[in-house]
Structure 1
Amino acid sequence: MISKSRLMSASAGLVLALAATPLMAQQTTLVIESWRNDDLTIWQQTLIPAFEAQHPDIKLQFQPTAPTEYNAALNAKLEAGSAGDIITCRPFDASLALFEDGALADLTDLEGMGNFSDVAKSAWSTDDGAQTFCVPMASVIHGFIYNADAFAELGLEEPTTTDEFFAVLDAIKEDGTYIPLAIGAVDQWEAASMGYHNIGPAYWHGEDGRLALIAGDAKFTDEEWVEPLRVLARWGEYAGDGYQAQTYPDSQNLFTLGRAAIFPAGSWEISLFEEQADFALGAFPPPIPAAGDTCYISDHTDIGIGLNAASTNAEAGRTFLNWVASSEFAELYSNALPGFFALSNGAVTLENPVANEFVSWRENCESTIRPTYQILSRGTPNLENDNWLHASNVLSGAETPEQAAEAIQAGLDSWYTPGMYE
């Protein structure tokens, strides 16, 4: 029979043992919502272990949703009060709407926000820039990826001007071994994002032109917006037979199988192309209109991360978001996902040579974002979708550049008045 004193002693020992392991009582779990389901292993194997090693009192659970279902699923969870603590943020209006509805916390005073420029934060800030609600994670950069072996075989050099670009395409076409340019007109976003929005900033002068559209000081019918459509129209001569019926995956396959020499690209292609192609890859930035012109790149803010305003773990959430804003996270993320570039001001050492080539363009080129993403796609017809449609029509030859520009501007004029969101 156990004595009362021995029971009291055992109970006291148990209390002391529990007191000696405070993490058991104080540990917090943060659930992360995201559309990047292809990032699951990167979070599980790289990012989560790195954070938890420094913060053993905070556990992370990465719970992604399929990209096409994310917006609807997230909104349903937020309304039901079942959404995770951390919300991965799409750029611009979708996340702004969540903030205005009170679903995302204001992170303006988060210490780590000091690591980002106003341009980097613009995708997750209010129109006046006064409040920021998501930590910028990464951007993607547009340019051209090419078959370096084919270039060496044909004695070609990377073009820097538009005339040089077409001279390279002419040389490839004349040789006949390769389709000069892998691009199709079926998946309309391909013609806009990797065509018009890729080469266009050099003509409309990047941020100056984009902001002039918002202010009403520029129109798509202005010469600097029509000329890149004229350049895009010429691409059809080099895209190969049947490009009008070619999908985006078709374009990828033509390139990785070695049948096409140049791919108008986003930097997100790097990992896939390196995995599938058996030839060396090279990359060059969008050609400038003429020698001596300023180089511009579409350095598009793509992904951010914020805090559910209803989270009961706000303090732990802010600790995590400060880590996401750190140079350590920037380097881990950028190397785990070549082609997704950290937006923080700190220097990042990239291991991938093609990714290094893309990001090096920031040193000599002016960065801008896609002109349809901020403010101008809030109405109907949606400006982004209109750009897709008419850019693909120009590429396929269904519309002239001038007709396309007039249609795009007419759609915008039908609902947008400069200053309406001020």
Structure 2
Amino acid sequence: MKKTLTAATLLSTTLLAQGALAQDVTLTIESWRNDDLTLWQDQIIPAFEASHPGIKIKFSPSAPAEYNAVLNSKLDAGSAGDLITCRPFDASLALYEGDKLADLSDLDAMDSFADVAKSAWQTDDGSATFCVPIASVIHGFIYNKDAFNELGIEPPKTTDEFYAVLDKIQEDGSYIPMAMGTNDQWEAATMGYQNIGPNYWKGEEGRQALIAGEQKLTDEQWVAPFRELAKWAPYLGNGYEAQTYPDSQNLFTLGRAAIYPAGSWEISGFNQQADFEMGAFPPPVPAEGDECYISDHTDIAMGMNAATEHPEEAKAFLEWVGSEEFATIYSNALPGFFSLASFDVEMSDPLAQEFVSWRQSCNSTIRSTYQILSRGTPNLENETWGASAAAIKGTSTPEELAQKLQDGLSSWYDPQK
């Protein structure tokens, strides 16, 4: 009887030990994207857990406006999740430099991303990459296909064709040619200057030259986009100066404007609100035969809390974030947020597929003001908002606006002095 009890006790102890060893590890993800909680719960997490038994994922978002403060507090208190959703550039760089994010340069998944895709989550010298890129947004122009068909218009490829299209829409009078206002300023820069500008400063070539101090904002390739914006005013409709960003969205989705200078993040909302078929065209090139460039702007990535108690499991998840399976799920569930990986992901949404197809024919770059150049005062990004709005309104000349930006940058940034 004693032997039987001893054997039973040993067996029970062994089973308990095995159970403890087999217990699932749960990784928590910190994020500001509380709008895609359902996507993570219904699609992304089940797909990962199905191929990675023993690892469970909990998606724990904060309100977007509060994310940075909440995350920093949790990291300081040692209570942050294992995986950290990374905003681009300086906010995440500060976390890495403060030893809050781990160096992920050695992950195999990093081989799936081009240098420009990784640039938003690297040290200035590119020696360390601390977040796995997830998605970007692409700039261009969304148009009302019904309006174009009605007026016999084809999407323009060059700037001359672009203005010819705008003139034809203007002459017909049925539609406002383009829906964009200058009241909020940021859209004049983001969907105006940063949309068309890369075709003039040649994308990464110009952006990197500006950082290195080899080009100045007063050089022709940086002034030219302001000259183009100065031509937009007659096509934006009466009262564009007081028109807000939501006003512009409504003008387009209600069918009152034919063209919308856009970021691809609009796709999901426009699909729900517009009752007409939409198309998109990339920023027109200055002349026929010119190479085209698109702002394929790095938006979101994921890193590892340097203090996580489960580094191997966290790295397993991050390797999967760099996979084609993740890229396909994410890109199709959130049309307009495109995988930064090198996989050729087929989009089910036709408008999203049109945007992402430009990667095959155009050179990708990111917004010129976002890396390094907006760390000082005056802030180049914010100054570019006002300058772009002023260019459209004609309150200053393109040369004056460029000189002001250059003066501000050179006042604090050594390579530009």
TM-score (norm 2): 0.96
Report the Cα distance in structure 1 between the residues aligned to 2:20 and 2:78, rounded to whole angstroms. Answer: 29
**What is the RMSD computed on CA atoms of the aligned residues?**
1.7
Asked whether 1:51 is paired with 2:52, we answer no
Give 1:319's match in structure 2, choosing from 309, 316, 319. Answer: 316
Residue in 1 aligned with 2:249?
252
For 2:65 and 2:176, how far apart are their aligned partners in 1? 32
SS of equivalent to 2:414: coil
In the aligned structure 1, how far is the partner of 2:174 from the partner of 2:242? 21
Q: 1:38 aligns with which of 18, 35, 38?
A: 35
CA–CA distance in 2 between the matches of 1:116 and 1:72? 29
Letter in 2 for 1:14: S
Residue type matched to 1:26 in 2? Answer: Q
Distance 2:310 2:11 in 1: 31
Task: State the partner residue of 2:140.
Answer: 143
Indicate whether 1:377 and 2:374 are aligned: yes
CA distance in 2, matches of 1:73, 1:381: 27
1:60-99 → structure 2 map (5 Å cutoff): 60-99=57-96
Q: Structure 2 matches for 1:50-199, cutoff 5 A?
A: 50-199=47-196
Q: Which runs of 5+ in 2 are unaligned?
A: none
SS of residue in 2 equivalent to 1:287: coil
Identical aligned residues as a percent: 66
Answer whether contact 2:175 2:258 (CA < 8 A) is retained: yes
2: distance between equivalents of 1:364 and 1:370? 19
User: What SS does the corresponding residue of 1:234 show, helix, strand or coil?
Assistant: coil
Deviation sequence 1:52-91 (CA, Å, 0-9, x none): 1111211111111122211122112111211111111111
1:170 partner SS? helix
Matched, 1:210 2:207: yes
Paired residue type of 2:16: L
Deviations 1:223-250 (A, max 9, x none): 1111111111111111111111111111
1:327 alignment partner AA: E
**Partner amino acid for 1:370?**
R
Shift of 1:4: 6.4
**1:168-200 deviations in Å (ceiling 9; x for gaps):** 111111111111101011122100010000001
**Aligned match of 1:405:** 402
Question: Structure 1 stretches (4+) deviating beyond 6 angstroms?
Answer: 3-6
Indicate the larger mover: 345-354 or 242-251.
Answer: 345-354
Whether the 8 Å contact between 2:138 and 2:356 is mirrored in structure 1 is yes
Query: What's the CA shift for 1:9?
Result: 5.8
Give the match for residue 292 of structure 1: 289
Paired AA for residue 198 in structure 1: N
Q: Do structure 1's residue 15 and structure 2's residue 40 form an aligned pair?
A: no
Letter in 2 for 1:401: P
Provide Cα deviations, 1:114-170, integer angstroms capped at 9, x if missing partner.
111112111111111111100011111100000001111111100001111111111
SS at 2:56's partner residue? strand
- Cα distance, 1:15 vs structure 2: 3.3
1:355 to 352, 355, 363: 352
After TM superposition, the structure 1 = structure 2 runs for residues 271-286 of structure 1, keeping only pairs within 5 Å, are 271-286=268-283
- Equivalent pairs counted in the alignment come to 417
1:23-74 alpha-carbon deviations (Å, 9 max, x no partner): 6x53111111111111111101100010111112111111111222111221
User: Could you tell me how far apart the structure 2 residues matched to 1:151 and 1:134 are?
Assistant: 42
- AA aligned opposite 1:333: Y
Stretches of structure 1 that go unaligned for 5 or more consecutive residues are none
